[in-house]
Amino acid sequence: MSQPQEVTPRGDSIPEKSSGIAPRFLFNWRFALTSIFLLAVALYFPVLQGWAIWDDHQLLTLKATFGISDVKTAFTHPLFGNYFRPLTSLSFVIENGIFKGIPFYYHLTNLLLHAVTAVLVAFLVLLVTRRRIAGVLAGIFFAVQPAQVGAAAWIGGRPDVLSLLFLVLFLIALVMYHDSQKGRWLVIGPVLLLLAALTKEQALAFWPLVPLSAFTFGSSNFKGALKVSAPYAFILVVYAGLWMIGHPSIHATTHGLSETVVLMLRTVSHYAMGFIVPTRSSVFTFTLGDVSNFVFIPLGALVVTGSVWALRLAWKRSPILFWFGLAAVLGYVPVSNFTLVGTLIAAPYRCAIVGLPVACILGMAGAFAAAHRRVILALPLGLNFILSFAVTWEATQHWHLPFDFWQEVYRDDPHFLEGAQFYAHSLDDKGLYDESVEVTSKSLTYIFDSPQWAQLLDQKQKDAITPGVGLRLEETRADLQNLGNFMGANAFSLGQAKRYPEATVVARDALILSPSDYWLNYYYGRLILKTDRVQAIRHWEVALRLNPDYYLCGLALAHQRLIDHEYADASRLLEHALALYPVNGYAWLDMVDAKVGLKDRAGAEKALQTASNAELKPNPVDLQKREAAIRGLTESSPSSQPKA
């Protein structure tokens, strides 16, 4: 990066003296940028030891999960089925080919992208203010900003952290064009904005900054605005064409106007607090549970009104401040829950892009406070920095480890069903089944507003889903199918704790809400096998129709076919299941029984040999029994009969 030259100050900025001490200032600038980079790296260094959590597993197996394996499929297959983010997909295609799913390297990529972006934020603010201190402070505020934790500490935050890099480069190119009037910046800038949008569509919200830049940094006339906007308008056409190729799905919101306004005001309160007075909750909260009180509606209205007033004041006194303020508003609109496109209710990483202009504003405000000795402004800025640093430092200790992460999410946002379910699974993995039952039961008690939720649903079935239940479901980002699956997690933990009667009731209730869940059908069949074998088999048949590749169900159903002497069907089910999961030696013994029943000596011998060499090796006594059955196999001999 070339060193900045001392130039005439822009707008209302205050120049730094350089006469006679330019070399020292140049050294200090390099030292400052290096310090910003190292600060960002040090804050996020713990995540390098992190694992894959949540959506990370799908991103590390793009080809198997989404069919994305090369440049073409990155542009033609939507990410998660809903998002057109081809450059994000492509970045994982490249990394998956090199790093083979080892989380360390993916975390390292995100960390370096975040650190480099923090340095570029400092350079951007230097360009627009001509003040090094403003740039340094902006870079520091960005480096420690809690809104960036979800982007930088989580592999799944790649769309945000990569888009931010392209966005800050786009803003630098835009300012450089107005400074130099060189045409190459009108080529570089639009390309960078297109790259940012192809990484995360939210970046397109920054487009109105382009014509406005002419009045902020350039000619201050409509002719200049049209000139700079023309190439950027072209990239909108290019993006639209590419988006149609990618054909992501769109989900329209179902809220009425009044409901949407209330949701938007609560969302404003939630994110505003995350930037102004960040806490643990601002990093580990995924619903609006922390702003459910009525007071947050007028607070949201106050934030909106205050933002409009501040923008109007800035337009008159500091066009640069207005430009960054508008950037923050534009970046926030797509995640404000006021748009026509249905979105997640809340997530900490959704405002990572907004953090870019916010950090720039804070850096400029800090420089102003230092230059004019405004203690009344410096104190809240200092408090914001201390809170941000502390929250980010603590969050990075937990975000990257699955159990720690879900424990923190559940602690700060217990009504987030997906978070509670993952936490319950983590407890199951540790053998803490009763604790897992307690976690899921508390969430279900909240949803149904009754500790007797199992009996309530058992009696009223779908009539138990009242409007109040529906509202709480929506606020926890769940629908009836999600609720049924969540109840299945409760049933599983009950079963693991050997509380089978309770588990059976809950699993049956879960199927009322989510009858098309293949795992629920399989698990309910397991629970009732001893008491109602016929019904259990029917549920397993349903599960296999819903997911023919669910090998556990295929193995279970094949064993029941053997008991009923349906050897051909058992052999067919086993062949498919064992092709998917060939390490189970006991399943290969069932294949031996099926082949013996079909009087297929060669097939039985091959299956027995595979069972003997399987990773999950059967008991030697069982192997000897099958070997004896094969030796006694003749055309007239009875087939081997498996025990129920």
Closest CA to 454 of 495, 487, 418: 487
Lowest mean per-residue pLDDT among 40-49, 325-334, 457-466, 551-560? 457-466
In degrees, rounded to 5, the angle at the alpha carbon of residue 1 between the alpha carbons of residues 10 and 7 is: 25
Render pLDDT for 91-116 as a digit per residue (tens, 0 to 9): 999 998 898 889 999 999 999 999 99
As a whole number, mean pLDDT of residues 317-335 equals: 92
Beta strands in 149-268 (DSSP E): none
**Does pLDDT of 475 surpass 50?**
yes
**Does pLDDT of 176 surpass 60?**
yes
Please report the pLDDT score of residue 365 as a whole number. Answer: 93
As a whole number, mean pLDDT of residues 503-516 equals: 91
CA distance 528 to 534: 9
**Model confidence at 372, in pLDDT bands (50, 70, 90)?**
confident
Render pLDDT for 552-588 as a digit per residue (tens, 0 to 9): 999 999 999 999 999 999 999 999 999 988 888 899 9
**Model confidence at 340, in pLDDT bands (50, 70, 90)?**
low
**Model confidence at 250, in pLDDT bands (50, 70, 90)?**
low
CA distance 507 to 485: 9
CA distance 601 to 578: 19
Q: Could you give the percent of the chain with pLDDT greater than 70?
A: 91
383 and 369 Cβ atoms separated by less than 8 Å: no
CA distance 135 to 320: 14
Please report the pLDDT score of residue 255 as a whole number. Answer: 65
State the CATH class of domain 414-545: mainly alpha
Q: State whether the Cα torsion 301-384-10-328 is positive or negative.
A: negative
**Model confidence at 20, in pLDDT bands (50, 70, 90)?**
very low
* Residue ranges of the chain assigned to CATH 1.25.40.10: 414-545, 548-644
Read off the tokens for 82: 């809903």
Lowest mean per-residue pLDDT among 281-285, 423-427, 522-526? 281-285
Please report the pLDDT score of residue 94 as a whole number. Answer: 92
Lowest mean per-residue pLDDT among 85-94, 336-345, 612-621? 336-345
Tell me which DSSP letter residue 70 carries. Answer: S
As a whole number, mean pLDDT of residues 276-283 equals: 88
Please report the pLDDT score of residue 640 as a whole number. Answer: 44
As a whole number, mean pLDDT of residues 353-370 equals: 94
Within 10 angstroms of residue 461's Cβ, the number of other Cβ atoms is 12
**Model confidence at 444, in pLDDT bands (50, 70, 90)?**
very high
Lowest mean per-residue pLDDT among 287-296, 415-424, 429-438, 592-601? 287-296
Render pLDDT for 386-408 as a digit per residue (tens, 0 to 9): 999 999 999 998 888 889 999 99
As a whole number, mean pLDDT of residues 447-456 equals: 86
**Model confidence at 5, in pLDDT bands (50, 70, 90)?**
very low
Render pLDDT for 299-323 as a digit per residue (tens, 0 to 9): 989 999 999 999 999 888 889 999 9
Dmax (CA) for the chain in angstroms is 108
Residue that is written with structure tokens 């799908």 in the block: 58
Residue that is written with structure tokens 């930088």 in the block: 152
Angle between helices 103-129 and 22-44 (to 10 degrees): 150
Indicate the average pLDDT of the chain: 86
**Does pLDDT of 3 surpass 60?**
no
What is the CATH number assigned to the segment(s) 548-644? 1.25.40.10
As a whole number, mean pLDDT of residues 131-144 equals: 94
Please report the pLDDT score of residue 385 as a whole number. Answer: 95
Phi, psi of 83 (to 5 degrees): -120, 135
User: Comparing 251 with 621, which gets the higher pLDDT?
Assistant: 621
Buried-state track 56-73, b at ≥16 Cβ within 10 A, e below 16: bebbbebeeebebbeeeb
As a whole number, mean pLDDT of residues 75-98 equals: 87
Closest CA to 608 of 594, 589, 622, 621: 589
Please report the pLDDT score of residue 294 as a whole number. Answer: 86
CA distance 393 to 355: 17
Phi, psi of 43 (to 5 degrees): -60, -40
CA distance 62 to 86: 12
